[in-house]
């Protein structure tokens, strides 16, 4: 299975920091944010990673190269015009080779068992699985409603209309999808992948919510960036835990 890191965003809420440095390269604990995600992927066996680029793209390519120093192989998907989550994933679709793909937001710092996520997705034969979190401000982030079978019922009010008992969640920016859900996503146009998930829910496809209770931070504002720096400095999240184990010599 291949992974994709969404890294094309402008990072407008973090200006002026992002005027001269793309958000994925902002350091957390002295290491670029996107490298934390690459090492998380590597730790869970992902070796092939697609990264979409737009804002200050050459800086990201120069910093990461082909990915060999992080134990992965990186392909870049260039977006001369920013395509959003839907258009960006659609453009990278040929790289998925018809297989499910794991998608991560490039501005998210998370400690999650990706093996458990993939197993959950496969066991339920899901069309898509979104990592979700319980949060008192779920509505502020964008309310995701999940039923007692962990199926998504509605995303920001869109989805199934029949009355259903649900639990409020928020989308954590990590998701697994089958490329068939990209069939109706317009190519070369800006769109949100959420539209494809809502359409799948309305077709009664299996779209699941995988509950995450561990560390999660969206590095979207100066305040949250400062908090992530503090979390790394105090050991709440550790880069060393993500480093691949040393291989025996010979």
**Taking 80 as the threshold, does the pLDDT of residue 18 lie above it?**
no
pLDDT score for 56: 82
Helices (H) and strands (E) in the chain, counts: 8, 14
Q: What is the mean pLDDT of residues 207-214?
A: 95
Q: How confident is the model over 70-86, as pLDDT tens digits?
A: 989 999 999 888 999 99
Give the whole-angstrom CA distance, residue 193 versus residue 196: 5
**Which pLDDT score is estimated for 242?**
60
Is the preceding peptide bond at 122 cis, omega within 30 degrees of 0?
Answer: no
pTM value? 0.90
CA distance 102 to 38: 12
Residue 165: what pLDDT?
A: 87
pLDDT classification of 92: cutoffs 50, 70, 90 = very high
* Helices 33-43 and 57-64, packing angle to 10 deg: 50
Task: Report helix, strand or coil for 2.
Answer: strand
Query: Higher-confidence residue: 243 or 143?
Result: 143
CA 32 to chain centre: 16
- DSSP states of 138-193: HHHH-EEEE-TTSBEEEETTEE--S----EEEEEEEEEEE-GGGGTTSPTTS---H
pLDDT value of position 202: 96
Instruction: Read off the pLDDT of residues 24-62 as tens digits, 9 standing for 90 and up.
Output: 898 888 899 999 999 999 999 999 999 999 888 889 998
The CA distance from 236 to 221, in Å, is 19
pLDDT at site 221: 84
The mean predicted confidence, pLDDT, of the chain is 88
Of the CATH numbers 2.40.30.10, 3.40.1350.10, 3.90.550.10, 3.40.50.970, which one belongs to the domain with range 2-237? 3.90.550.10
Cα-based angle 214, 41, 94 (whole degrees, multiple of 5): 125
The structural domains of the chain, with segments of one domain joined by +, span 2-237
206 and 102 Cβ atoms separated by less than 8 Å = no
């Amino acid at each position: 299975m291949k992974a994709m890191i969404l890294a094309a965003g402008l990072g407008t809420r973090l200006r002026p920091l992002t005027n001269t440095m793309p958000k994925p390269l902002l350091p957390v604990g002295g290491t670029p944010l996107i490298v934390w995600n690459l090492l998380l992927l590597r730790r869970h066996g992902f070796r092939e990673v697609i990264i979409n680029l737009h804002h200050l793209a050459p800086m990201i390519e120069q910093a990461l190269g082909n990915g060999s120093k992080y134990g992965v192989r990186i392909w870049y998907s260039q977006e001369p015009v920013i395509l959003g989550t839907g258009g960006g994933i659609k453009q990278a679709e040929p790289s998925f080779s018809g297989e499910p793909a794991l998608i991560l937001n490039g501005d998210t710092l998370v400690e999650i068992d990706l093996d458990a996520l993939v197993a959950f997705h496969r066991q339920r034969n899901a069309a898509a699985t979104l990592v979700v979190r319980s949060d008192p401000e779920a509505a502020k982030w964008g309310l995701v409603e999940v039923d007692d079978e962990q199926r998504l019922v509605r995303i920001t009010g869109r989805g199934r209309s029949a009355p259903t008992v649900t639990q409020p969640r928020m989308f954590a920016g990590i998701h697994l999808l089958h490329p068939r859900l990209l069939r109706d996503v317009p190519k070369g146009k800006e769109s949100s992948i959420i539209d494809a998930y809502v359409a799948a829910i309305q077709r009664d496809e299996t779209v699941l919510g995988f509950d995450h209770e561990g560390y999660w931070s969206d590095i979207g504002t100066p305040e949250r960036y400062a908090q992530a720096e503090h979390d790394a400095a105090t050991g709440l999240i550790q880069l060393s835990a993500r480093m691949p184990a040393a291989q025996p010599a010979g």
